[in-house]
Amino acid sequence: MNNNNPKEHLQEIFDLQNDTSGGSYVYSFKISRLLYSYSRSLIAILVSVGVFVFMDLDLTGSFLAIMFGAVALPGTILAINYTIYSKNKKLYFQKGNSKFAVVCGNNTLIYDKRKIIKKEKYHTSSRRCIWSDFKFYQLTMKDGSTLNISNLLMNENEFRKQFGSNLQSETTSFPFV
């Protein structure tokens, strides 16, 4: 096992050189998913800055422009939290194999889908929140360990494709990973 090269380690585990199933999947952080999830907060910030800069506002108007921009603060905090959590992670799956790997830097963790006892999705309780596009999935294993997978790594359709559709939904105000 070579800890310095996760790709060689994955080839040993998944036998990628002799893969005849034709189904290897890799999920990693994507800027497009971040922009999609953060878009409504970003629009609120840009509108607030535009109103503040381009309009000659009195004290009340300035206060309202600042407050409108402050609405985007939770979305900004979640975007930073999810980006830090997901930036260096990759998920590896192989068709027909119950094991999957999570690679973070030089560390590789191997999990078995058959040992998952609970699958939960954490998201905001309202679709009206401008940060409602941030969500994460939590897998609980038989040994009590948990694995969080943010929607910046894989969306809900991809998650259901890999782990099945029996997903419990949990709501929270701010779904921090």
CATH of the domain at 60: 2.30.29.30
The pLDDT of residue 2 = 40
Look up the domain containing 81 and give its range. 24-171
Distance CA 146, CA 140 (A): 4
Average pLDDT, the chain: 83
Residue 7 has pLDDT above 80, yes or no: no
Look at residue 45 and tell me if it is in a domain: yes
User: What is the average pLDDT across 128-133?
Assistant: 84
The pair of three-digit structure tokens given for residue 172, joined into one six-digit string:
């929270």
| Strand, helix or coil for residue 93 | strand
Look at residue 3 and tell me if it is in a domain: no
Look at residue 76 and tell me if it is in a domain: yes
Distance CA 130, CA 13 (A): 41
User: What is the average pLDDT across 39-45?
Assistant: 89
Distance CA 152, CA 41 (A): 16
Look at residue 15 and tell me if it is in a domain: no
The pLDDT of residue 1 = 38
Residue 73 has pLDDT above 50, yes or no: yes
The pair of three-digit structure tokens given for residue 52, joined into one six-digit string:
């503040």
User: What is the average pLDDT across 13-27?
Assistant: 64
The pLDDT of residue 28 = 92
The pLDDT of residue 51 = 80
Amino acid identity of residue 56, one-letter, is D
Q: In this predicted model, which residue has the larger pLDDT, 79 or 95?
A: 79
User: What is the average pLDDT across 102-110?
Assistant: 89
State the total domains in the chain: 1
Look at residue 128 and tell me if it is in a domain: yes
Share of the chain above pLDDT 70, in %: 86
The pLDDT of residue 9 = 61
Look at residue 151 and tell me if it is in a domain: yes
User: What is the average pLDDT across 135-161?
Assistant: 93
Look at residue 6 and tell me if it is in a domain: no
- Please give the model's pTM, rounded to 2 decimal places: 0.79
Residue 138 has pLDDT above 80, yes or no: yes
| Cα-trace Rg, the chain | 20
The pLDDT of residue 5 = 60
